[in-house]
Amino acid sequence: MSAREEILGRIRTALGEHRAPVPDIVRGYRTADGRPTTELLDVLVDRLEDYKATVVRCLADEVAGTVATALQAALGAHSHGDVVVAPGLPAEWRPDGAVEDDGRPAVALAEHAATVTGVTVAVADTGTLVLDGSPRCGRRALSLLPDCLVCVVTSDQVVGGVPEGLARLDPRAPLTLISGPSATSDIELQRVEGVHGPRTLVVVLVT
């Protein structure tokens, strides 16, 4: 007998011939909330800053400039050429001189100092940004290897809680949920930001 058949057979034995009906699942938790967008944005900013991310708010026509300024603050004045952006990032969000991810071997992305991507949804209550591998978000390695990550979030992408966030996602896409910069608490439970992922996370919030 194959291992598959044997394990499935064991499960059937364990559950017995006459199976109990499947117990009901009561989903009494919150799945939506009526908070206005302005309040959600404030919560999102509060959570992100709590994780030591930098948050900058701007208007729709100020994105490229805001991104450039934020990059300058994070990297220093000289390193504009080191910025790589997701292939589907809108032209009006791109800082001058940034190169586009052209699908080169993923490890080559480590040579860049910073990345700019969009997100697909942001969850206010947990300060979570979700990237889904779409052209605007880029492949997973893009938001991982460069040491500084800039994410542009538009206010229509912000939802209140985790259930609303997951409901907007395609479960078959390669998804990355990001809540603050990379961190560890492995040494005496003291939080240290920035281990293997980007050590700096900048969120540009378009309102």
Partner 1 sequence: MSAVDLGMPSLPHAPRGVGHLRGDRSFPDAARESLRDGQLRANLGHATSTIRAKRKAVVDEVPDWAELREAGRAIKAATMARLDEHLVALEEQVTARGGTVHWARDAEEANEIVIRLVQATGTDEVVKVKSMATQEIGLNEALEAAGIAAHETDLAELIVQLGEDTPSHILVPAIHKNRAEIREIFLRTMPQFQEQGVDADLTDEPRRLAMAARAHLRERFLRARVAISGANFAVAETGTLAVVESEGNGRMCLTLPRTLITVMGIEKVVPTWRDLEVFLQLLPRSSTGERMNPYTSLWAGVTPGDGPQEFHLVLVDNGRTAVLADEVGRAALHCIRCSACLNVCPVYERAGGHAYGSVYPGPIGAVLSPQLTGVEDNASLPYASSLCGACYDVCPVAIDIPSILVHLRAEHVEAQERTTPEAVAFRALAKAMSTPRLWRLAQRAAGLGRLLSRGKPTLPAALPPPASKWTRTRDLPTPPRETFTQQWVRERGR
Q: Which two tokens stand for residue 64?
A: 């490229």
CB count, 10 Å around CB of 76? 9
Task: Tell which positions 188-207 bind partner 1, by CB under 8 A.
Answer: 188-190, 192, 194-198
Q: Distance of alpha carbon 42 from its chain centroid, rounded?
A: 18
**For residue 168, what are the contacts with CB-CB under 8 A and spacing of at least 6?**
120, 121, 159
User: From the CB of 104, what's the least distance to partner 1, in Å?
Assistant: 11
Which residue, 56 or 175, has its beta carbon nearer to partner 1?
175
| Interaction mask 103-122, partner 1, x per CB under 8 A | x--xx--x------------
Among 66, 120, 128, 157, binds partner 1 (CB under 8 A): 128
Task: Tell which positions 36-75 bind partner 1, by CB under 8 A.
Answer: 47, 51
Q: Please give the single-letter amino acid code of residue 4.
A: R
DSSP labels for 26-92?
---S-------HHHHHHHHHHHHHHTT-EEEEE-GGGHHHHHHHHHHHHH-TT-GGGEEE-TTS-GG
Among 112, 122, 139, 203, binds partner 1 (CB under 8 A): 139
Which residue, 68 or 85, has its beta carbon nearer to partner 1?
85
Which residue, 69 or 179, has its beta carbon nearer to partner 1?
179
Task: Tell which positions 6-25 bind partner 1, by CB under 8 A.
Answer: 6-8, 10-16, 19-25
Does residue 67 contact residue 96 with C-beta atoms inside 8 Å? no
Residue entry with tokens 């560890």: 184
| Interaction mask 149-188, partner 1, x per CB under 8 A | ------------xxx--xx---xxxxxxxxxxxxxxxxxx
Which of these, 122, 206, 203, 207, lies nearest to 169 by C-alpha position?
Answer: 122
Binding-residue total with partner 1 (CB under 8 A): 73
Which residue, 37 or 176, has its beta carbon nearer to partner 1?
176
User: From the CB of 127, what's the least distance to partner 1, in Å?
Assistant: 6
